[in-house]
Amino acid sequence: MTPSATPTSGQQASPFLDTLARLTSYRHTEPFLSAALHEAVQAAHCQAGSLLLVTGSTRRVREGEMSPESVEQISLWEQTLEERLLSSSWRIAADESPPVYTHVVKGTEHLLVNTPLLRDDSVTGSLTVVLAPGDTLSLPRRQVLTSCATTIGNLADIIEQLTLTQHSLEQLTFLHQTSQALTSTLDLRQVLDNTMELATKILNAHASTLMLIDGETNELVFDIPYGEKRELLRSYRMSMDEGIAGWVARQGEPAIVNDAATDERFSRGTDARTGFLTQSVICVPLQIKNRTIGVLEALNKISSEGFNDDDLRLLSTLAAQAASAIENANLYRSLREERDKIIRVQEEARRALARDLHDSTLQSLSSISMGMDYVNQLLKHQPEAAAEELGRLHELVRHASREARVLLFELRPIALEAQGLVGALETYVDQLRGEGPPVYHFLNDGFNERLSPEVEAAAFIVVQEAVNNARKHASADNVRLNLTPEEGSLLITVEDDGRGFDLETARENARRGGHLGLVSMQERADLIEAQFDIHSRPGQGTSIALRVPRGNRAPEP
């Protein structure tokens, strides 16, 4: 490609920005990086490219044919950057332009262009492209490449956060499937058999077993095996003095063993009987009111990394559910009711997320795409005005990224786990500030306690729903969030000076299936035994009060 054939900024950027909506559909980092690199290379009309992302782990994708000399130089750039990011952070101030490095490959005369990936002001990797011999790096093309790198860096961060959220949702789905299995029949053996199948699949194991203690003989009975050799194991008995399962039953503690042959607790008797070669084991006790009634175990993780703490949490949860099912069949009905409520809340959350994405982030992306078409026209007729317009579009990209981060925070407020309710609410309000109107105010009148995780999560969701209602529907100038400790309780209020509404009409709509936000807030309050009140009149704003009993404190560490 000769310099005269270099496409204009708008010609390069528009195809890339047109693909943003498609790129945001990715839910895993590796395929996203490959797709994003392909689009960047195509948009910039380059011969090849390389993308490096360093966020805890290192990911690298490349596209197109490169000479050995080009690969050597790109690898040197990426290795140097990787070492820097793994040892420290690198930030670029908002008023600084991202650096762009170039290198002409001797012999082939290819031009290599390298610029950092940015997540806000933090460098998280780099984008390198290979230009044809004789091609040049014009200012518009430079701006397009740095804009692509910034966009890819921010989207990669969003997708990694979505991956964490997806992992949580997968675990929730597993627990939901377990609840379905436990409520699908009153035949206890069938229920537990279904549970074993779920445990084997979710833990990616070759087999699983549920063993109950026979108190008369002091033996473990392989009551519900699943997987290889299941028929040979059914009703097989072993002494509680044998094996890893026997140790878990005696001690009432879980165990993870990823190399069974080297563990002194491991017994080869069962393997000798069945021909099943045990390599790794995860085993948890089945307990009812601190009394061990059996053990639940999974055998031979299919993937090479072995069982881990996440597997242990899942299996422990499953064991608790199985033990409860054994003790009380009446649990089926309550689980069914709870399952229906969870499904209803999840569906409403998905619909709310879809609305928020459509009304905020996707609207911003659409504006960016149209703006790039305008830049294309400016470059043809008023090139001196293109840089100013690109700056405006850069702010739009930052705004869209900010909106997406707010949505991610609402989906999974990590600060709630680490800092508690007060810290999570402060972070939430800080993220909302600056987007106004309305103006957000936060006042904490001396409350610094941690409540139980369930209470904090429910209270946060109620506040989030109240704030979102004020943001989207109240046309308020101010939203005030106050925490007031009272004797035996914590009073949380959310007040706005917006248009207000007729409360009786809203409640009637809720009874007919509308205003699910009001229903959701009331249900969340009921779950944590909190008092929920709402006051509103047309033209006089809205006030929502949640009074949480302070007896629901987190356990002492």
State whether 537 and 460 are in the same domain: yes
Closest by alpha carbon to 202, among 164, 231, 228, 172? 172
- The verdict on residue 338 lying in a domain is no
State whether 119 and 234 are in the same domain: no
Q: According to the model, what pLDDT value does residue 494 have?
A: 95
- The verdict on residue 432 lying in a domain is yes
State whether 524 and 417 are in the same domain: yes
State whether 220 and 133 are in the same domain: no
Chain centre to alpha carbon of residue 254: 28
- The verdict on residue 554 lying in a domain is yes
Share of the chain above pLDDT 90, in %: 24
State whether 92 and 217 are in the same domain: no
- The verdict on residue 323 lying in a domain is yes
State whether 448 and 507 are in the same domain: yes
Residue 299 has pLDDT above 90, yes or no: no
Confidence of residue 13 (pLDDT cuts 50, 70, 90): very low
Share of the chain above pLDDT 70, in %: 75
Looking at residue 229, the DSSP 8-state letter turns out to be T
pLDDT in tens, 489-546: 999 999 999 999 888 888 887 766 555 577 778 888 888 889 999 999 999 999 999 9
Q: When comparing pLDDT for 413 and 59, which is higher?
A: 59
pLDDT in tens, 322-336: 787 777 654 555 555
Q: When comparing pLDDT for 398 and 297, which is higher?
A: 297
Report field, pTM of the whole predicted structure over 0.75: no
Report for 66-75, 175-184, 338-347: range of highest mean pLDDT: 66-75
- The verdict on residue 335 lying in a domain is no
324: three-class secondary structure by DSSP: helix
Q: According to the model, what pLDDT value does residue 9 have?
A: 42
Residue 94 has pLDDT above 70, yes or no: yes
pLDDT averaged over every residue in the chain: 79
- Domain end: 271, 300, 328, which one? 328
- The verdict on residue 117 lying in a domain is yes
pLDDT in tens, 158-174: 888 877 777 677 767 77
State whether 145 and 7 are in the same domain: yes
Q: Report the pLDDT averaged over residues 219-242.
A: 70
3-state helix, strand, coil in the chain (%, to 5): 55, 20, 25
- The verdict on residue 390 lying in a domain is no
Residue 485 has pLDDT above 70, yes or no: yes
Question: Alpha-carbon distance 114 to 155, whole Å?
Answer: 19
Query: How big is the chain, counted in residues?
Result: 557
State whether 319 and 445 are in the same domain: no
- For residue 89, what are the domain limits? 3-151
State whether 319 and 437 are in the same domain: no
Question: Alpha-carbon distance 315 to 309, whole Å?
Answer: 10
Chain centre to alpha carbon of residue 473: 28
- Domain end: 328, 352, 373, which one? 328
Q: Report the pLDDT averaged over residues 94-108.
A: 89
State whether 108 and 219 are in the same domain: no
State whether 303 and 441 are in the same domain: no
- The verdict on residue 498 lying in a domain is yes
State whether 251 and 128 are in the same domain: no
What CATH number does the domain containing 231 carry?
Answer: 3.30.450.40
Q: According to the model, what pLDDT value does residue 410 have?
A: 55
Q: For the ranges 85-89, 233-237, 426-430, which has the lowest average pLDDT?
A: 233-237
Count of structural domains within the chain? 3
- Domain end: 277, 306, 328, which one? 328
